[in-house]
Structure 1
Amino acid sequence: MILWFTLIQVGVAVLAGVVAVVAGLAGRRPSDLTVGALALIELLLIAQIVVALIAPFAGNPPTGSLLEYWTYLVSAALLPPAGAAWALIERSRWSTVIMGVAALAVAVMVWRMHVIWTVQVA
């Protein structure tokens, strides 16, 4: 993984998560801002999938468990669409909070993927 890309992903996910949780707790329903933030997180995760496929061939192999890394990546990539689908089905303030929690979970998962890729020894 690339450190600067990881930091951008984590930063965007944390910002989106905090905005969505605050908006939800303030009584706001899902909006273009909160759903769009999840869409941006999903685009960054798709880019991460491409990077993860190319990186070993470019001389940046993982040092940790490849199975664990891909499990995190696939799981993280499923969270934003699931959160957005929930928000579109149940348009309440709590679905906005759930989208925020999903975004924060993605931030933690992306950082864990970076640790698996760079720090651990298999």
Structure 2
Amino acid sequence: MSGVLVAITCALCLVLGGWAVVTVARDRRVGRALLTGLAVVELSVLATVVDGVVALATGTRPVELATSVAYLVVAPFILPAGTFWALADRSRPSTLVLAVACFAVLVIAYRAFLLFAVTR
């Protein structure tokens, strides 16, 4: 996996997670700009997943293969699920779900990177 791509994904997750927290602190709902930012983060996550799948296809075998594959499968679904929850609830605390989703994607991307770094 590309360390630069994972770093970009993690940085975007930090920015958007912070933005979601600021949105909650300002007592605002999820706006179009935040949703656009989440779409950019999701594209970054998809690029990271494709990079991981290509690494697996070209022969990279992480020691924890099942965990690595699980991270690659689950990662693209976290942000859409959090966004759906935040848009369906429309209360102020539901926006915090987006911050938690961004943090979860950050941890998954970094952990997958660490697992791909230790290969057989």
The two structures share one fold, judged by TM-score above 0.5: yes
- Shift in Å at residue 84 of structure 1? 1.0
Instruction: Check conservation: 2:17, 2:98, Cα contact below 8 A.
Output: yes
Segment drifting more, 41-50 vs 75-84: 41-50
Deviations 1:60-118 (A, max 9, x none): x1433121012122222111010111122111221211111111111111101111110
- Shift in Å at residue 8 of structure 1? 0.4
Identity in percent? 32
Give the Cα separation in 2 of the matches to 1:75 and 1:102: 12
Are positions 1:15 and 2:18 aligned together?
no
> Structure 1 pair 111/26, CA: closer, same or farther in 2 (3 Å)?
same
Structure 2 SS opposite 1:47:
helix
Instruction: Check conservation: 2:52, 2:72, Cα contact below 8 A.
Output: no
- Superposition TM-score, scaled by structure 1 size: 0.87
- Superposition TM-score, scaled by structure 2 size: 0.88
Q: Unaligned stretches of 5+ in structure 1?
A: none
> Structure 1 pair 109/81, CA: closer, same or farther in 2 (3 Å)?
same
Pairs within 5 Å for 1:1-122? 1-58=1-58, 61-119=60-118
Give the Cα separation in 2 of the matches to 1:7 and 1:64: 22
Deviations 1:35-84 (A, max 9, x none): 2222222111211222122224556x143312101212222211101011
Give the aligned length. Answer: 120
Instruction: Check conservation: 1:10, 1:110, Cα contact below 8 A.
Output: yes
Give the Cα separation in 2 of the matches to 1:32 and 1:64: 41
Segments of 4+ in structure 1 off by > 6 A?
none
Instruction: Check conservation: 1:30, 1:92, Cα contact below 8 A.
Output: no
Q: CA RMSD in A?
A: 1.7
Instruction: Check conservation: 1:16, 1:37, Cα contact below 8 A.
Output: yes
Instruction: Check conservation: 1:22, 1:97, Cα contact below 8 A.
Output: no
